[in-house]
Structure 1
Amino acid sequence: MEVDEVVRLPRLSRVAVCGGTHGNELSGEFLAKKKSRRRRSRKTPPRQSLNRCRMVSLSPRGPLPGAVPYEMIRSRELNATLGPKGSPGAVELVCDLHNTTANMGLCLIAYSDCDWICLHIFRHLQASAHSGKINPKSYSLDSVGKHGFAMEIGPQPHGVVRSNVYAAMKAGVQHMLDWVCFFNSGSTFEGEYVDVFTMIKHIDYPRDRETRKIRAAIHPQLQDQDFCLLHPEDPLFQTFSGETLRYKGDEALYPFFINECAYYEKGIALSLARKRRVMVPAIRVQTERERQAHMEEEEEE
């Protein structure tokens, strides 16, 4: 692909902004409720965490035996409403709103480093963006749409809402929607390199061999230093007896989700990423003639 080639992409006619996927992350829940009230009054379903059931309920497997919990039913409803995942009828863009207890600021997470829609939105928001490993079998909510990403904002304790974090999320969502309007109106977005952070691995807390209980916390010099380069031999953990445990990796990497509350049960103290540059081509929306020609080409194939 030539660097100056303009990629034509379908119009983003339907955009879903989702909040409250995890029931104790309140900024997205309050923001989604506020925006939905502007459109129409509707009964809000009970707030539940869909964290543990999304992988199963959005997967192509059949129903599980026994009683089906509410969270799984709700996940299947969301998949039917926004998708079904992978179908031509899925919404064009899903933005799933989340809070983190880690000091990550406004961070955008995608499952691909070649989704030009998401990467151009990342550029537009001028925020720290990192992409997970390419994962075509992801079953998170933002993967249901044809394009999708999660917006993580923190630090904010789970179960509370901080006005500055809520304001940052509100501004981020509005900038995203503004970009969609610009794109749909026919604006051309020039190609450019974008820095992304690709997740490499997770690190667990040091644990007792027999009891598996945590025996150290994040080192004070590392706490709240999300996306700051961690070099080999830098302080990583501090045991409860005061001993410093150092990072023994072979290369300097970028930590994120440092000391995230929800990840204790997953055995993750922090994740490490490698920073790299991705060339994002220029894009613009398809004209009706181009869309028809594309459909005819697909039918011929």
Structure 2
Amino acid sequence: MEVDQVVRLPRLSRVAVCGGTHGNELSGVYLVKELLKEERKVMEEDEKKLVSVLLVLSNLPAMQQCHRYVDTDLNRSFTHATLNDPISDVAPYEVIRARELNAMLGPKGSPEAVDLVCDLHNTTANMGLCLIAYSDRDWICMHIFRHLQREMPDTPIRFIHFDIADKESFSLDSVGKHGFALELGPQPHGVVRSNIYTAMKVGVQHMLNWVRLFNSGTVFEGGFVDVYTLIKHIDYPRDSETHNITAAIHPHLQDRDFCLLHPEDPLFQTFSGETLTYKGNEPLYPFFINEGAYYEKGIALYLARKRRVVVPAIQVQPEQQGFASKKEE
């Protein structure tokens, strides 16, 4: 694929912005609530630009309790099997809700699915603003990412690629034809920080503005994106009998998300004071370092390889644009 080759893609008629998939990640909760207050104005503006914006509060009971979830993690409930296998009368609330959201925004993998899902999340890790997607060849998501980088130069912004097959993709954003999680941190769960909320609000505004530009016929020039592809995760050291953790993230690693971790670099510090080093065979980039919600999942951090992806120029398909062509420098 060449940078200058223009790829023409269908118009993004319907965009879903979702908050509260995790009920204690409060930037998305409060942002969607705020957008719902302004929904009439938003709808009027978007109607002129031929895009419909659907605002969704994904997990109301978890939001009311300020918990990540009620019975099970909603953002792990959108695999093909969970959405389609027979369901029992005692199914977890989030499995039932996942099917409701799939009916509302999907069905996943169908022509009827919304064109783009942006699901809003917070992390306790020092990750800045990240777009997390299942494809490193989704040019819509890649160009939105590049647009955010241009429009928010003072915010560290990265693209994370979860290389997972479609049937195994597990999160709400996978229901749309295109989709990504917009992850922002650091912010404690159950807390809203003004700077993190504001960065999320600005990011969503720029994302929607990009969709309007795309639908109006703007040509977005090609370029390059640095992609962090998930390779593996590492659990905390644990006691073989109790399974309790026996160490914390080493102080030299804490808050250093996306800083290259080399073999033999400090990784953990045991509660007795011993330093445990990284025993991998290659340098990798850590992220979600010491994420508070991942203790229950047995994940101390993820590790990724970084590589550069060529992104072609894109434009809405001519028969659908309905506007004079413009070019973005």
> Normalising by structure 1, what TM-score?
0.91
Structure-1 residue corresponding to 2:38: 38
Task: Tell me the alpha carbon deviations over residues 15-42 of structure 1, each in whole angstroms, 9 at most, x when there is no partner.
Answer: 10000000110100100111112125x9
- Residue number in structure 2 paired with 1:286: 317
Q: Displacement, 1:214? A: 0.4
Output aligned runs, 1:200-219, within 5 Å.
200-219=231-250
Q: Would you say 1:180 and 2:211 are equivalent positions?
A: yes
Q: Is 2:61 aligned against 1:47?
A: yes
Residue 193 of structure 1 and its aligned partner are, at CA, apart by 1.2
Q: CA offset at residue 70 of structure 1?
A: 3.0
Q: Deviations over 1:45-64 (max 9, x none)?
A: 73322762454565343332
Distance 1:53 1:168 in 2: 24
Cα deviation for residue 66 of structure 1 reads: 3.0
Q: Paired residue for 2:161?
A: 131
Secondary structure (helix, strand or coil) at the match of 1:47 reads helix
Would the aligned equivalents of 2:122 and 2:186 in 1 still touch at CA under 8 Å?
A: yes
CA contact (8 A) 1:101 1:259 kept: yes
Gaps of 5+ in 1: 292-301
Residue 117 of structure 2 is aligned with which of 70, 79, 94? Answer: 94
Q: Per the alignment, in what secondary structure is the counterpart of residue 188 of structure 1?
A: strand
CA contact (8 A) 2:28 2:120 kept: yes
Distance in 2 (alpha carbons) for counterparts of 1:71 and 1:134? 22
Counterpart CA distance in 1 for 2:79 and 2:269 is 39
Distance 1:56 1:170, change over 3 A: closer
Give the structure 1 partner of residue 50 of structure 2: none
Residue 214 of structure 1 aligns to a residue whose secondary structure is coil
| Structure 2 SS opposite 1:179 | helix
Amino acid in structure 2 at the alignment position of 1:76 = R
Do residues 73 (structure 1) and 99 (structure 2) align? Answer: no
Worse-superposed segment, 112-121 or 207-216: 207-216
Which residue pairs with 1:14 in the alignment? 14
1:199 aligned residue (211, 219, 230): 230
Q: Distance between the aligned counterparts of 1:23 and 1:290, measured in 2? A: 38
Any idea what the Cα deviations from partners look like across 1:237-275, whole Å, max 9, x if unmatched? 000011000111111110000000110011100000000
RMSD: 2.1
**1:236-251 map, 5 Å:** 236-251=267-282
Matched, 1:84 2:107: yes
TM-score by length of 2: 0.84
Alpha-carbon contact 1:113-1:134 (below 8 Å) kept: no
Q: Deviations over 1:261-297 (max 9, x none)?
A: 1100111000000000000011000022799xxxxxx
CA distance in 2: counterparts of 1:161 and 1:278, whole angstroms: 34
Distance 2:19 2:264 in 1: 39
Matches within 5 A, 1:139-158: 139-158=170-189
Question: In structure 2, what residue type is equivalent to 1:6?
Answer: V
Identity of paired residues, percent? 71
Q: Please, which moves more after superposition, 281-290 or 249-258?
A: 281-290
- TM-fit CA distance, 1:209: 1.4
Three-state SS of the structure 1 residue aligned to 2:159 is: strand
Report the 3-state secondary structure (helix = DSSP H, G, I; strand = E; otherwise coil) of the residue aligned with 1:23: coil
3-state SS in 2 of match to 1:161: coil
Question: Matches of 2:98 and 2:172 in 1, distance apart?
Answer: 8
Equivalence for 1:230: 261
Residue in 1 aligned with 2:202?
A: 171
Partner of residue 266 from structure 1, selected from 289, 297, 307: 297
**1:154–1:2 distance in 2 versus 1, CA, 3 Å:** closer
The Cα of 1:187 is off from its aligned counterpart by: 0.5
Letter in 2 for 1:258: I
Higher alpha-carbon deviation: 195-204 or 56-65: 56-65
